[in-house]
Amino acid sequence: MNGHCGYFRTMIVSIGCDHAGPALKTRISAHLAAKGHELLNRGTDGLDSVDYPDYAHAVADDVGTGNAELGILICGSANGVAMTANATPFLVCRYRFYSTMAAYNASRE
């Protein structure tokens, strides 16, 4: 981790998703990389059904061990990854659900 402080410092960011989120993860990753942040891609990168806890644990472990300063999890419902990440000691995972993601999910059904 870098020792700089301030609004414009770069961070190491761990990012992961279940099979509902690769497109959004790719967009977020590209944005963060363009801003100079280092990314730890914890998967998944495909649309095949996966077990979300595998990816949530990987991101939570990165943050919990100090390998990343921030973790981003993307999930079809958000609840599962938040509960999984919250099982990691000393971490608090909050979730957000946006109407744009709901519209995206509805269009895939």
Instruction: Decide the pairing of beta strands 70-74 and 12-17.
Output: parallel
Three-state DSSP class for residue 71: strand
* 75 in catalytic set: yes
Instruction: Decide the pairing of beta strands 12-17 and 38-41.
Output: parallel
Q: Where are the alpha helices (DSSP H) in 1-109?
A: 22-34, 52-65, 79-86, 99-108
For residues 78 and 65, give the distance between their C-alpha atoms in angstroms, rounded to a whole number: 23
Q: ω before 44 within 30° of 0 (cis)?
A: yes
Q: Which of 5, 17, 75, 93 is catalytic?
A: 75
Catalytic residues: 75
